[in-house]
Amino acid sequence: MSTRSGADRELVIRGAHVLDPSSGLDGVMDVRISGGRVAEVGEDLHGVRELDASGLHLFPGFVDVHAHWRTPGREEEEDLESGSEAAAAGGFTGVVMMPNTDPVLDRPALVSGLVRRAERESRVRAYVAAALHAGLEGRELTEMRLLKEAGALCVSDDGPGTQNADVLRSGMIYARSAGLAVLLHCEDRSLAKGVVHDGVAAALAGVPATPASAEDAATATALVLAAETGARVHITHVSTALSAALVGFFKGRTGVTADTTPHHLTLTDDLVRTLEGLYRVNPPLRPEGDRREVIEALRDGTLDFVATDHAPHAAQRKELPLQEAAPGFLGHETAFAALYTELVLGESLPLSRLVEAMSCAPGRWVGGLGSLAVGAPADIALADLEEEWTVERESLSSRSHNSPYLGRRMRGRIVGTIVGGELVHDRMGAKLGVRT
């Protein structure tokens, strides 16, 4: 959010198909932005500065609660500038950064430092998830009240997860008292000895495999503890049919929320057959049966929203045999197109549900985002649903190139992204030229 020069000025975006399930908006309308906020949505609006968006769709900006921008520590793979550029290119206007950096974000000074840097260097709203335990080692709780004062949005164990249930339980109780949500990576490492899903592809390929129970058992533990402690728990990257069903079972008993990723919604463990390190990710890609159940859970709201788990890795960490490669995929820049292509066009998921899952629901989770209600921050994604494009290394803004979609044809593309009234991504300058 480095350039805010015109934030106070008025802008009218004209002629886009506005779709915001949280405000009940669905139709061709104009949006007036003033003071960085949504001032008016209606017909035939005019202003000093106008932006012709006819033919495009206009959504509340997407919110990604799960990203690794590798800062501090591995800036050669991603930093706040490149990460936020990638986010903006994908229509994301709010992003939560995970704490498994180097050093781990487990001390107030580290958190406040990163919050300040993000204010200067990020094009989009960037939030910090602080570590749930010191060093993410699963033993000692972090200073959660101080972390909150330092600016942490929530706490998380993402990366290694929490292997000790007692520490997880105490962490939930303490986080609740500190007023912090807990974002959990559910993985039982005593079961997770492999690098791919323990299925047909692993059997044939001979790659060390991890059973689905590694995720399911840890998810069950987290849900039971959430019910017992009353903590505000969010389970990230749910990837199996059973874990989705467990979330569903506990939804009535707790305030638990959950997300899944674009890749678990669109790819399967068939890719293991390539033996390419590129396709290693954690949780691993699952078989088609799990993918189908996860899609249904997203459709019916059991899984509240989508988060990308954007995880950049340098080529030398990926150009390896599967079992030696680092786990993780880029996510920001392909999320909308992959889900629009595969789920909306391919599986008849309503576009409004996709927008709710990418904008409204995660925006509510972060707080105050993901809506075009009058007075809301003017965070907007503009999409051309007709554009067809191919994901290519050269087209990625991220500093890394580990996208599982390289070479894939996609339908639908983000052409403009606005944060607080400012255009932070403008892929088709001519089309989005602001008329003054």
Closest CA to 391 of 185, 86, 36, 1: 86
228 is an interface residue for another protein by CB under 8 A: no
- The one among 60, 90, 277, 283 contacting another protein by CB under 8 A: 277
Q: Which two tokens stand for residue 413?
A: 């593309």
Question: 292 burial class (0-12, 13-18, 19+ CB within 10 angstroms)?
Answer: middle
Beta strands in 86-124 (DSSP E): 92-97
Q: Which is nearer to another protein, 199 or 328 (CB)?
A: 199
Q: Nearest approach, Cβ of 266 to another protein (angstroms)?
A: 22
Q: Nearest approach, Cβ of 321 to another protein (angstroms)?
A: 4
Q: Nearest approach, Cβ of 202 to another protein (angstroms)?
A: 7
428 is an interface residue for another protein by CB under 8 A: no
- The one among 94, 211, 377, 420 contacting another protein by CB under 8 A: 211
Contacts with another protein by CB under 8 A: the residue count is 22
**Site pattern 377..416 for another protein (x: CB under 8 A):** ----------------------------------------
Rounded to a whole number of angstroms, the CA Rg of the chain reads 21
276 is an interface residue for another protein by CB under 8 A: yes
436 is an interface residue for another protein by CB under 8 A: no
Q: Nearest approach, Cβ of 201 to another protein (angstroms)?
A: 8
Q: Nearest approach, Cβ of 199 to another protein (angstroms)?
A: 5
DSSP string, 382-422: EEEEEEEEE--GGG--SS----TTTT-EEEEEEEEEEETTE
Residue in the block written with tokens 């692993």:
202
Stated length of the chain: 436
Beta strands in 248-379 (DSSP E): 257-260, 305-306
In the region spanning residues 300 to 329, those forming contacts with another protein, defined by CB under 8 A, are 316, 319-324
146 is an interface residue for another protein by CB under 8 A: no
- The one among 179, 204, 249, 393 contacting another protein by CB under 8 A: 204
Q: Nearest approach, Cβ of 156 to another protein (angstroms)?
A: 31
Closest CA to 385 of 413, 347, 404, 407: 413
- The one among 42, 54, 139, 200 contacting another protein by CB under 8 A: 200
206 is an interface residue for another protein by CB under 8 A: yes
203 is an interface residue for another protein by CB under 8 A: yes
309 catalytically annotated: yes
Say which of 188, 290, 309, 384 is annotated catalytic: 309
Say if CB 107 and CB 143 are below 8 A apart. yes
Count of Cβ atoms closer than 10 Å to residue 356 Cβ: 25
Closest CA to 337 of 92, 20, 94, 125: 92
Is the omega angle on the peptide bond into residue 327 within 30 degrees of 0, that is, cis? no
270 is an interface residue for another protein by CB under 8 A: no
Amino acid present at 56: L
Residues near another protein (CB under 8 A) are 198-200, 202-209, 211, 275-277, 316, 319-324
Q: Active-site residues: which are they?
A: 309
